């Protein structure tokens, strides 16, 4: 561990806010997001000697996701819940007035945004979609950076984030209707 820690901190600390966004969503049960950020930076510092100056945000996010996964494996728990069942393409909504119909999912979602509910529904997405949404919509990574982080083509990231957003919107609409909103 011979790298100059000041050079390392100068290169990486400006990205701590986005790493924290990733850590908050990647932290599984029993994991603390702040501990995860610290462990990410310690691992990154340990590997700073082999860092070739690529996108630091993408590099840190990839380390953060790996740390979250390996810690979760140690705890024998998955930080990302993967659900196999698919949602219908069009969500039939039970309206508050008792009539059945196809409501506008987007309107239902926007009308009742609640961070806790969003977090719960995000946790129900398949991992690939969830990770892409966390990187792009929560942490503010570009599709290119997310692709670099995950080691997959940019088009794949865009398709995953699109499917994930739609699924998230439908899950939230379903939850909103269940709570009496329509």
Binding site for another protein (CB under 8 A): 1, 3, 5-10, 13, 16-17, 20-21, 24-25, 34-35, 37-39, 41-42, 45-46, 89-90, 104-106, 109-110, 113-115, 118-119, 121-122, 133-134, 137-140, 143, 155, 158-159, 161-170, 172
Q: Least distance to another protein from the beta carbon of 40, Å?
A: 9
Q: 46 or 178, CB closer to another protein?
A: 46
Length of the chain, in residues: 182
Exposed, middle or buried by CB within 10 Å (0-12, 13-18, 19+), for 88?
Answer: exposed
Partners of residue 93 on adjacent β-strands: 101
Q: Least distance to another protein from the beta carbon of 94, Å?
A: 18
* C-beta of residue 119 within 8 angstroms of C-beta of residue 21: no
Q: Least distance to another protein from the beta carbon of 80, Å?
A: 15
User: Quick check: helix, strand or coil at residue 103?
Assistant: coil
Q: How far apart are CA 16 and CA 8, in angstroms?
A: 12
Q: Least distance to another protein from the beta carbon of 111, Å?
A: 10
Q: 62 or 175, CB closer to another protein?
A: 175
Q: 39 or 98, CB closer to another protein?
A: 39
Residue appearing with tokens 């810690």: 71
Q: 69 or 138, CB closer to another protein?
A: 138
Q: 98 or 107, CB closer to another protein?
A: 107
Q: Least distance to another protein from the beta carbon of 89, Å?
A: 8
Q: 72 or 131, CB closer to another protein?
A: 131
DSSP H/E element including 18: helix 16-26
Q: Least distance to another protein from the beta carbon of 162, Å?
A: 4
Phi-psi region of 81 (alpha: psi -120 to 50; beta: other; left: phi over 0): beta
- Taking alpha carbons only, the member of 121, 117, 113, 95 closest to residue 177 is 95
């Amino acid at each position: 561990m011979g790298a100059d820690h000041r050079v390392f901190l100068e290169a990486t600390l400006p990205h701590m806010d986005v790493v924290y966004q990733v850590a908050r969503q990647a932290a599984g049960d029993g994991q603390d997001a702040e501990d995860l950020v610290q462990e990410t930076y310690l691992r990154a510092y340990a590997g700073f000697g082999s860092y070739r100056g690529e996108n630091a945000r993408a590099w840190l996010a990839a380390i953060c996701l790996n740390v979250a996964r390996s810690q979760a494996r140690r705890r024998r728990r998955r930080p990302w819940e993967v659900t196999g069942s698919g949602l219908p393409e069009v969500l039939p909504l039970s309206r508050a007035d008792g009539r059945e119909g196809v409501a506008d999912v987007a309107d239902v979602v926007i009308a009742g945004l609640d961070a806790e509910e969003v977090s719960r529904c995000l946790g129900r997405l398949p991992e690939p979609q969830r990770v892409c949404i966390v990187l792009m919509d929560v942490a503010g990574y570009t599709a290119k950076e997310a692709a670099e982080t995950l080691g997959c083509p940019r088009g794949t990231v865009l398709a995953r984030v699109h499917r994930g957003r739609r699924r998230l919107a439908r899950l939230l609409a379903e939850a909103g209707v269940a709570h009496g909103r329509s």
